[in-house]
Amino acid sequence: MSKSLIITSIANDKHPILKQFSEECKKRNLNFIVIGDTKSPATFNLEGCDFWSVDRQQSLPFHLAKITPTKHYSRKNLGYLLAIKNGATELVETDDDNIPREEFWDAKQREVKSYGFENTGWVNIYHYFTNKFIWARGYPLEELQKQQIDINTLKLDAINCPIQQGLADENPDVDAVYRLTYPLPLSFEIKTKIALGKNAWSPFNSQNTYWFKEAFPLMYLPSYCSFRMTDIWRSYVAQRIAWECGWSVLYHESTVWQERNEHNLMKDFEDEIPGYTNNLKICKELQALNLKAGQENICDNLIICYEKLIDIQVIGKDELVLLKAWIGDISAL
């Protein structure tokens, strides 16, 4: 199976969205991997789903499997490695509260005709998919009043995008500040495609994200940071390194809608404080790094980027042990 779907979940095997994903994957001959954690049920039997409990994860032939912390979203890294071991050349990831539309399953191409942004600084991606004021989780609050570029002044071209982010309707991925101050649900009514290249920033998440093989090393989710920041800070690192490979990150219209799991918004706000106070700084520091050009230097650049995040004290120093295990495991594959 050349394409795999990865979810991390603590739900049981009766969960309706997991059942839907399982049925759809079976119909399309896709490998469906669910990575559990310590709160996962003791038994999980869902036809068409390859479920991995924490105990079963310990049997994986990856160094990372032995040292990844429990009770953290970053255990999804093991699902990525497992899918690659099984021969996947394309990976799609989502969560157990996102419901796929038919378009979610469409085949994707690396080169996509889209509006290209370069040397524009921060781009509020959601601005181009709706006329309402909204921003993505991870977007710096300091940049919210920035005037956005008129998309009609940009060139529509075929752009190489091995990382592709789809949006979500009804309950889009926004931060706790937005949820506490603006009404939801909201659906994106404008269909377009936007590609962010060199010196153009926007966060992307792990909720509706497609990866081609050459970008697999950039999937690494850090463990020694807030759950609410792990995929966001991964996205910053991935974008910065993608520039050195001549790649852009694609953002496209919604192919899922979200029925959001129960959240305590004030707890989310607390967990997002490291982002509110550091997102802008992180990207300034990453942009200033002297990285090596070329796809062959991705792993070296990952270490340089995470050493900087440790140096500025937004990620714990123990992260390097996990990162080097990831690099060793994915290089062996």
Query: For residue range 225-255, what is the model confidence (pLDDT) as tens digits?
Result: 999 999 999 999 999 999 999 999 999 999 9
Q: How confident is the model at residue 168 (pLDDT cuts 50, 70, 90)?
A: very high
The pLDDT of residue 220 is 98
Measured distance CA(102)–CA(256) in Å, rounded: 9
The answer on pLDDT for 1 being more than 70 is no
How many CA atoms, within 13 angstroms, populate the side-chain half-sphere of residue 332?
13
The answer on pLDDT for 44 being more than 60 is yes
The answer on pLDDT for 189 being more than 90 is yes
The answer on pLDDT for 42 being more than 90 is no
One-letter amino acid of 58? Q
**CA 82 to mean position of chain CA atoms:** 17
The pLDDT tens digits for 139-166 are: 999 999 999 999 999 999 999 999 999 9
Measured distance CA(22)–CA(28) in Å, rounded: 10
The pLDDT tens digits for 210-227 are: 999 999 999 999 999 999
Burial of 130 (0-12, 13-18, 19+ CB in 10 A): middle
Mean pLDDT score, 196-212: 98
- In the three-class reduction of DSSP (H, G, I as helix; E, B as strand; rest coil), residue 143 is classed as helix
The mean of the pLDDT values for the chain is 97
Domain range list for the chain = 97-332
Mean pLDDT score, 291-300: 98
Measured distance CA(163)–CA(185) in Å, rounded: 27
User: Of 7, 64, 55, which is closest to residue 35 (Cα–Cα)?
Assistant: 7
Mean pLDDT score, 125-129: 98
Q: For residue 3, give Cα distances in angstroms to 33, 191, 210, 261.
A: 11, 25, 10, 27
